[in-house]
Structure 1
Amino acid sequence: MYKLLALDMDGTLLNKEHKISRENFEAIQEALHMGVKVVLASGRIFGGMLSHLKQLNLVNDDNYSVSCAGGLVLNNTMSKIIQSNGLSIDDLKYVYGLTKELNLSLNIYTRDSILAFQDDIFSRFDAIANNVPLKIVDINSLRDDVEIYKMTIINDSIDVIMEAREFLEKLCPKDIIQDKCFKDIKRLECDVLDKISVKISDKYTVVKPLQFALEVINKDCNKWTGIKKIAEELGIQNEEIICIGDSENDEHMIKNAGLGVAMGNGFSKIKEIADYVTYTNDQHGVAHVINKFILGKEIAYAED
């Protein structure tokens, strides 16, 4: 019997409107009623996960989350940090220097905030997704002991951003996306992120959750290390864990779980390594997995 269900959020638990469907909600509540632990594992900061945790009735001392793509693991009342793998100010300065050389943008993530070094469309999108104000900072103003759990490198070239704009506008109200976000958009090679990933992957865990972004976290962590730590706290074995995700930052957890599930809308690479491919996030793919593998029933869902 599966005892722990770990869910990515964007592109997995959440539909294209960035909401939890009724079908997913009801299936999760049934799983919880059966005693299954449900863990959200996201690249978001914890504050960006909180409203969904509340909706799912998961905000108490006995439930846990993996935030910042594995950089910070804590219980859902924030009263206990289970695992923390941060980055130093020296790490930040090193990566910041590379992004300046390559004309890329950079955001950093603390437990409760997102700090950006530029005002651009992705930074606005990120702040809205995480339900926090956008804070523009100067790197020289940061204290040496600043807590950093994740960095995101963004290729905001015109080719990449225009392709991503429809995706961004699903989350950003159009009146927030001002023309000034686009006036200085750069023309860069679209594979520049792959080049920087090769350069720094020996020092950090580097994954590409979106076509135009790289997540950089401590070399010792990823979503799976966070989930495994939670499972150890709860006395749950790897084979008793289901992990569901759609993008590259879900690869570790999908490969290592007892049942690794890729979303129908997921990256091809993720589908190839998964034990099972479910429906898309708009076809309640999470609910399908819960019904099939936890509740033992088959329900066909139509797309909303």
Structure 2
Amino acid sequence: MVRLVALDMDGTLLNSRLEISEANRKAIALACENGARIVLCSGRPIKGLVRYIEELGLYNDEEFLIGFNGALVVQAKSKKRVYEQGMSGKDAKVLARTASEIGANCIIHFADHAMTPVENFYSTLEATVNGIPLVIGDPETIDDHATVMKVLFLDYEHILEGYLPRIPEAIRQKHELVRTAPFFLEFLDKGLSKYSALSALARELGIGNEEVMAIGDSENDYEMIKYSGVGVAMGNAADEIKKAAKLVTRTEDEDGVAYALNKVMNLGMEEFKGG
């Protein structure tokens, strides 16, 4: 029995128009009626997830939000923290200096706002899309003991591509690296992933791993798809992600989330009869 459903956002729950389809909304409602709890699980900040949980009619404290690729887990409505694994302000400053050295801009994400040394197209886009305050300031002013959710390098693809082979071993040893878009390179605390946060949440709720269903499409979904009880890859996922999954569903523009929920939880949706 599926008791907890983790849903990635971009390329999974959201279609290519960044909308939640009617079929996906219906399937999620039916899954809840059948005893499942929903957790939106994204690289986005928590504030960037709230409008979607509201749209699903699940803005309550029975459902949860996992933001920053697993760095923070909160109850959907109260925002009470269930799990947190950030990096220190000291480590974030090292990354900010590194970004400056390679000529890339960066955003330092805190739980409720972000800081960037230079406002540019990508930093403004990141803040606007997620509805977070963006402070323009010197990262060296960050307290060494502050908790930072993640550091994001944002710049032209060729700048980030040129940097990847030159990442110092000291940084690789202290951080997880996630590439979610050509112009994004994310740095997380070592050992952190969506799956580590999802596992912590499941333990908190007394839910076994075999009762967890995870649906996603990207590199940052790999662990939760591979290791959750029911790991589902979207039809638009890369082959590596599909190979890690127990089930491959339809694409984000073909109601892939609804199709998977209906198939695994036997929801009886007419839309997928015979499909």
The reply to whether TM is greater than 0.5 is yes
1:200 equivalent among 157, 160, 171? 171
TM alignment of 1:147-158, pairs within 5 A: 147-154=147-154, 156-157=155-156
Residue 203 of structure 1 aligns with an amino acid whose one-letter code is K
| 1:132 is the counterpart of 2:132 | yes
Moved more, 202-211 or 1-10: 202-211
Name the CA shift for 1:151/1:100 in 2 (closer, same or farther; >3 Å).
same
Q: Distance in 2 between matches of 1:197 and 1:264?
A: 35
Moved more, 257-266 or 140-149: 140-149
Give the Å deviation of 1:296.
4.7
| 1:245 is the counterpart of 2:211 | no
The alignment's C-alpha RMSD in Å is: 2.0
Q: Distance in 1 between matches of 2:119 and 2:230?
A: 41
Q: Distance in 1 between matches of 2:231 and 2:172?
A: 24
Q: Distance in 1 between matches of 2:39 and 2:101?
A: 38
Q: Report the counterpart of residue 267 of structure 1 in structure 2.
A: 238
Q: Distance in 1 between matches of 2:219 and 2:166?
A: 16
Give the Å deviation of 1:281.
0.9
Name the CA shift for 1:122/1:252 in 2 (closer, same or farther; >3 Å).
same
Name the CA shift for 1:95/1:55 in 2 (closer, same or farther; >3 Å).
same
Residue 267 of structure 1 aligns with an amino acid whose one-letter code is A
Gaps in structure 1 of 5+ consecutive residues: 161-186
1:280 equivalent among 251, 270, 273? 251
Give the Å deviation of 1:200.
2.4
Q: Distance in 2 between matches of 1:195 and 1:288?
A: 42
Give the Å deviation of 1:268.
2.9
Q: Distance in 2 between matches of 1:210 and 1:197?
A: 21
Name the CA shift for 1:38/1:194 in 2 (closer, same or farther; >3 Å).
farther
Summarize deviations over 1:84-124 as a string: whole Å, max 9, x none: 11111210121112212211221111112222222222212
How many percent identity over aligned positions?
36
Name the CA shift for 1:206/1:290 in 2 (closer, same or farther; >3 Å).
same
| 1:236 is the counterpart of 2:220 | no
| 1:215 is the counterpart of 2:173 | no
Tell me the number of residue pairs that the alignment of Structure 1 and Structure 2 aligns. Answer: 272
Residue 186 of structure 2 aligns with an amino acid whose one-letter code is E
After the TM superposition, list the runs of 4 or more consecutive aligned residues in structure 1 that deviate by more than 2 angstroms.
77-80, 132-135, 140-147, 187-201, 295-301
Residue 202 of structure 2 aligns with an amino acid whose one-letter code is A
Give the Å deviation of 1:191.
4.4
Q: Report the counterpart of residue 106 of structure 1 in structure 2.
A: 106
Q: Report the counterpart of residue 72 of structure 2 in structure 1.
A: 72
- TM-score calculated relative to the size of structure 2: 0.91
Q: Distance in 1 between matches of 2:145 and 2:49?
A: 25
Residue 58 of structure 1 aligns with an amino acid whose one-letter code is L
Name the CA shift for 1:251/1:66 in 2 (closer, same or farther; >3 Å).
same
Give the Å deviation of 1:27.
0.6
Summarize deviations over 1:175-233 as a string: whole Å, max 9, x none: xxxxxxxxxxxx63734235428662221122211222222111132111111111112
Gaps in structure 2 of 5+ consecutive residues: none
Moved more, 282-291 or 88-97: 88-97
